[in-house]
């Protein structure tokens, strides 16, 4: 149980394009979804937290207009990297948590984004 | 604020050796504690968890005990395999944070034949 599907797993785009990454909870309702960025050999950096039907809460230093997050339903959240540039190249990982209290997060397999 | 400290890697072990990865935490209240594992090129997988003091989480031969008196949650395995090579993250979720994880920096484990 508690499967989170993230798509695409890898994307290579030209500079200036926008890229959308999808995160789906397949067998549970995700009350909260999280988006992380991970640099090589480093821990995960939380970018934003989103609740279904609400605006995302962004961490300090994360550009809201650059990284658009939509949490349209209890099973789907999307991250759109707008007008991507080479410095946006990274490994992006989503996670989802359901229910109340200290529920564990369940992670997708990540998206390797490369901007040329 | 909350924080998690885990031993720096990389940790290199021979197959069948014993593993301990130290993790200590600082948090108010009664956090839940987790170990996640990340294999190369993948997302994180929940390895085990403990939600209250003296709880022992276990999975796939790994175990960790929630020690409130020492604020620790050390990860142990009696006999590691090459397939255990990965990065291990200790983390906590504190009460009232809506499942927001506080991560340690991760410890890379490399197991050789």
Residue-wise pLDDT for B6-50, tens only, equals 988 899 999 999 999 999 999 988 899 999 999 988 889 999 999
Q: Which of A51, A57, A102 to mutate to test the interface with B (most CBs of B within 10 A)?
A: A102
Confidence at residue B104, expressed as pLDDT on a 0 to 100 scale: 94
Is the model's pLDDT at A1 over the cut of 90?
Answer: no
Is the model's pLDDT at B54 over the cut of 70?
Answer: yes
Confidence at residue B9, expressed as pLDDT on a 0 to 100 scale: 87
To the nearest whole angstrom, how far is the Cα of B97 from the nearest Cα of chain A?
8
Candidate from A12-16, A75-79, A99-103, A105-109 with smallest mean pLDDT = A99-103
On whether any CB of chain A is under 8 Å from the CB of B44, the answer is yes
Contact flag A46-B43 (C-beta cutoff 8 Å): no
Is the model's pLDDT at A38 over the cut of 80?
Answer: yes
pLDDT in tens, A57-103: 999 999 999 999 998 888 999 999 999 999 999 999 999 988 766 77
Distances in Å between the alpha carbon of B48 and those of A7, A9, A19, B113? 26, 25, 34, 26
A35: tokens are: 């988006």
Measured CB to CB, residues of chain A less than 8 Å from chain B are 2, 4, 6, 31-32, 34, 41-44, 46, 49, 51, 93, 95, 97, 101-110, 112
Q: How many CB atoms sit inside 10 A of residue A11's CB?
A: 18
On whether any CB of chain A is under 8 Å from the CB of B104, the answer is yes
From the number of C-beta atoms within 10 Å of its C-beta (0-12, 13-18, 19+), residue A65 rates as exposed
Order of strands across the sheet that contains B19-21: B19-21, B75-77, B62-65, B56-59
Is the model's pLDDT at A42 over the cut of 80?
Answer: yes
List CB contacts (< 8 A) between A44 and chain B: 44, 89, 103
Q: Who contacts B106 (Cβ-Cβ below 8 Å, separation ≥6)?
A: A42, A43, B6, B9, B38, B87, B88, B89
């Amino acid at each position: 149980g508690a499967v989170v599907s993230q798509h695409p797993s890898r994307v290579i785009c030209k500079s200036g394009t926008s890229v959308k990454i999808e995160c789906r909870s397949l067998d549970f309702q995700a009350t909260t979804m999280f988006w992380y960025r991970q640099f090589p050999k480093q821990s995960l950096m939380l970018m934003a937290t989103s609740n279904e039907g609400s605006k995302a809460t962004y961490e300090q230093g994360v550009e809201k207009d650059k990284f658009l997050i939509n949490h349209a339903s209890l099973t789907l959240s999307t991250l759109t990297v707008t007008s991507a540039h080479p410095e946006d190249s990274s490994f992006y990982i989503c996670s989802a948590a359901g229910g109340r209290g200290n529920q564990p997060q369940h992670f997708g397999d990540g998206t390797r984004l490369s901007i040329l | 604020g909350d924080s998690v400290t885990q031993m720096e890697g990389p940790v290199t072990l021979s197959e069948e050796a014993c593993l301990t990865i130290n993790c200590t935490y600082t948090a108010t209240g009664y956090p839940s504690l987790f170990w996640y594992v990340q294999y190369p090129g993948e997302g994180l997988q929940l390895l085990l968890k403990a939600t209250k003091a003296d709880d022992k989480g276990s999975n796939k031969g790994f175990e960790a005990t929630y020690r409130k008196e020492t604020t620790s949650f050390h990860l142990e395995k009696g006999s590691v395999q090459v397939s255990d090579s990965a990065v291990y993250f200790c983390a906590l979720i504190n009460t009232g944070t809506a499942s927001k994880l506080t991560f340690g920096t991760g410890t890379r484990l490399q197991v050789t034949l």
